Structure 1
Amino acid sequence: MAVDLVVFDIGRVLLEWDPEGYYDKAMGRVARVRLFREVPLHEMNLRIDAGEPWHQTVEDTAWKHGRWHKDVLSWRDHWDKMAGPLIPESVSLLRALRSKGIPVWALTNFGRETLDHAQALWPALTEFDGMIVSGELRVVKPAPEIYAALERDTGAAPGRILFIDDKAKNLRAAEARGWQTHLFDGPAGLRQRLVQEGLLSPAEAKAG
């Protein structure tokens, strides 16, 4: 079926997002493994993605885990080093699609405050025709409500949506609604898929 709308996840599709990599460099892998085992940092971040305030949530977690207080606060103070950089090839493909008049939206688990910060740091993250953001809806992927919100706001037929995400569970939830999906494992595979769908020519995709 033809594709009328391309939907991008952001983290690990357009933006590197590698907290473990940041902490490995900052404190060493052994200490990082212990930190992530003793402090529920990813659960904390999911709460931010679901709408809890960024700084307050990090600070509250830091106080609850006094041994790791300074390290937890890095999620506030050095967030940009965890989130970035952009994946330039993915951004180029997004731009190539939009230059052909193909609508491109984002469907992302992202806190409202962290997204504002990310967009100020990397303006390419503003280059969508629209966005569905978990922190605004207070519901995260793969909950059905966030997919329904995109369908409602775009008016796109589910079977004509192509959704790009790096997590299989998020894609399964989209497939259950009839969406077409692509599991992102690097720009090369995405480039091939966009050509396969007839959305970009090989030359356009290569330029992207």
Structure 2
Amino acid sequence: MNIIFDIGNVLVRWDPVNIVRSVINAPGAVRVAELLFAHPDWHEIDRGALTIPEIIKRAVERTDIDEDIVAAIYHAVPASLTPIDESITLLKQLKQAGHGIYALSNMGHDNAAYLAKHAPFWDEFEGRVISAEVKLIKPDPAIYRYLLNENGLTNSECVFIDDSLANVQTAEQLGIRSIHFCSASQASMALKQFVTWQE
């Protein structure tokens, strides 16, 4: 079986509010996180259509946040993507058991480059599709098909793990068995109906 992992909030932590608080530890962090990370511009970073300097400029123009703060927040993102140890252990157990390990993630170029250099699990994947590199983002069905086609995978021989219900639902519509990730232990239990491995 082939196991396809999302990365953010599955293999690494993704917490916009904490990212903001690491720069400005003050009331209003939730609002700032929404302004900077819930805006469509952030999805365009994931799509590879905007750069960090461009999104900083646009955020300063549309909000009341100082440029140096906006820049510091966006530049703090890569280092905030710390591994979730339990998930990495699960990934390595699955690989050791002979299952194919793949990644399908919405992620901008800068974050992917940081993880490629620092993440202990990055080289475990037999194939990776990063949204910014292919100019597609989940839940667009095209990015799932791209992963399958590029790696010669059959949908019925894959299990997809993602923390986004919308992304999981699209995968299931394409015939890919899926798990809505809440925790490593929950995902591990759910996986047992599809695959076997030694814990």
**TM norm structure 2:** 0.89
Structure 2 equivalent of residue 139 of structure 1: 136
Structure 2 equivalent of residue 166 of structure 1: 163
Following TM superposition, the consecutive aligned residue runs of length 4 or more in structure 1 with deviations greater than 4 angstroms are none
Question: Structure 1 CA distance, aligned partners of 2:142 and 2:55?
Answer: 26
1:154 corresponds to 2:151: yes
- Tell me which of 69, 77, 89 is aligned to 1:79: 77
Using a 3 Å threshold, how does the CA distance of structure 1 residues 22 and 75 change in structure 2: closer, same or farther?
Answer: closer
After the TM superposition, which residues 58-137 of structure 1 pair with which residues of structure 2 at under 5 Å, given as runs?
A: 58-65=55-62, 67-68=64-65, 69-82=67-80, 84-137=81-134
1:199 corresponds to 2:196: yes
Does the residue aligned with 1:164 lie in a helix, a strand or coil? strand
Show structure 1 runs of 5+ residues with no match: none
Larger helix proportion, structure 1 or 2?
1
- Tell me which of 30, 37, 41 is aligned to 2:37: 41
Show structure 2 runs of 5+ residues with no match: none
Q: What CA deviation, in whole Å up to 9, does each residue of 1:10-69 have, x standing for no partner?
A: 0000000111122235434632133245x3433332111101353323332344146312
Q: What CA deviation, in whole Å up to 9, does each residue of 1:119-156 have, x standing for no partner?
A: 21223223200011110111100001101101212222
Using a 3 Å threshold, how does the CA distance of structure 1 residues 24 and 63 change in structure 2: closer, same or farther?
Answer: closer
Contact 1:58 1:72 in 2 (8 A): no
Q: Which amino acid aligns with 2:78?
A: D
Using a 3 Å threshold, how does the CA distance of structure 1 residues 24 and 59 change in structure 2: closer, same or farther?
Answer: closer
Question: Structure 1 CA distance, aligned partners of 2:110 and 2:82?
Answer: 18
After the TM superposition, which residues 15-54 of structure 1 pair with which residues of structure 2 at under 5 Å, given as runs?
A: 15-28=12-25, 30-37=27-34, 39-42=35-38, 43-54=40-51
Using a 3 Å threshold, how does the CA distance of structure 1 residues 29 and 13 change in structure 2: closer, same or farther?
Answer: farther
Question: Structure 1 CA distance, aligned partners of 2:146 and 2:188?
Answer: 27
Contact 1:61 1:72 in 2 (8 A): no
Contact 1:106 1:132 in 2 (8 A): yes
Question: Structure 1 CA distance, aligned partners of 2:137 and 2:11?
Answer: 18
> How many corresponding residue pairs?
197
Question: Structure 1 CA distance, aligned partners of 2:52 and 2:111?
Answer: 10
Does the residue aligned with 1:172 lie in a helix, a strand or coil? helix
Does the residue aligned with 1:30 lie in a helix, a strand or coil? coil
Contact 2:162 2:179 in 1 (8 A): yes
Does the residue aligned with 1:67 lie in a helix, a strand or coil? coil
Contact 1:162 1:181 in 2 (8 A): yes
